């Protein structure tokens, strides 16, 4: 494991890491997103991957370009910023992440910082239960790669179930209040699958 500056609160974070960033509202999300990718923009051995839904307004790129200005543009020019879009197939999203991370590593990048912004209910986004499965499966993907994978959950716009199940139980690390900490609510993927996903109340129902 290597450590790298988190970008907020003077904290460091170990890599690999899969973290849930809890924030309230777009303004706070924008500020934290810019801060969190800052260390990667400034280090030419690092890269940034931005993942969001098609047609998101404002887009992550808009948010970050506005906040990080020249550092973001310079990194983008150097090919160290990749943009990915969610699809409705959660497994396909896993493949997109893996392909981007592996390609960057093959091109000499030592550490990739991923910032993903889920939008439950958005078009071209997996069904809620499959997104929860994706979040849990990401842990195995992340464990094999040099990445700090941050999923931003806006508590003001996502259903509470997404924060509890998707945020708190699938991410080993929690970023909240400008602190990063081990998440005591994290469930290992196999256990999360057996004890949570197979028992979601809206699944398997007929008319």
Q: Verify binding: residue 126, another protein, rule CB under 8 A.
A: yes
d(CA 18, CA 169): 12
User: Minimum distance between the CB of residue 97 and another protein, rounded to whole angstroms?
Assistant: 11
Nearer to another protein, 66 or 200 (CB): 200
Is there a contact between 67 and 34 (Cβ–Cβ < 8 Å)? yes
Please, which residue, 37 or 165, has the CB nearer to another protein? 165
Q: Are 130 and 94 in contact (CB under 8 A)?
A: no
Give the residue, chosen from 10, 108, 160, 184, that forms a contact with another protein under the rule CB under 8 A: 160
Helix (H) / strand (E) element for 112: namely strand 111-116
Q: Is 88 in the site for another protein (CB under 8 A)?
A: yes
Q: Is 190 in the site for another protein (CB under 8 A)?
A: yes
Q: Quick check: 187 and 196 in contact, CB under 8 A?
A: yes
> Residue 134 in contact with residue 94, Cβ under 8 Å?
yes
Angstrom distance (rounded) from CA 72 to CA 63: 11
Interface with another protein, residue 207, by CB under 8 A? yes
Residues lying near another protein in the complex (CB under 8 A) = 88, 90-92, 94-95, 98, 119-123, 126-130, 132-133, 136-137, 156-162, 189-190, 193-194, 197-198, 200-207
């Amino acid at each position: 494991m290597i450590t790298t500056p988190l970008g907020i609160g003077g904290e460091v974070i170990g890599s690999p890491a899969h973290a849930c960033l809890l924030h309230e509202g777009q303004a706070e999300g924008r500020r934290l997103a810019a801060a969190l990718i800052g260390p990667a923009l400034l280090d030419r051995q690092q890269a940034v991957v931005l993942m969001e839904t098609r047609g998101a307004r404002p887009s992550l790129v808009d948010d970050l370009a506005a906040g990080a200005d020249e550092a973001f543009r310079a990194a983008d020019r150097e090919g160290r910023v990749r943009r990915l879009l969610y699809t409705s197939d959660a497994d396909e999203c896993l493949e997109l992440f893996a392909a981007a991370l592996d390609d960057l590593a093959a091109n000499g990048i030592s550490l990739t910082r991923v910032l993903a912004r889920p939008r439950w209910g958005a078009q071209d986004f997996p069904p809620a239960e499959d997104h929860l499965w994706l979040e849990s499966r990401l842990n195995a993907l992340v464990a094999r790669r040099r990445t700090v994978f941050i999923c931003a959950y806006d508590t003001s716009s996502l259903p509470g179930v997404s924060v509890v199940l998707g945020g708190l139980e699938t991410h080993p690390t929690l970023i909240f209040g400008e602190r990063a900490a081990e998440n005591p609510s994290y469930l290992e993927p196999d256990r999360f699958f057996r004890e949570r996903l197979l028992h979601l109340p809206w699944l398997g129902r007929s008319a």
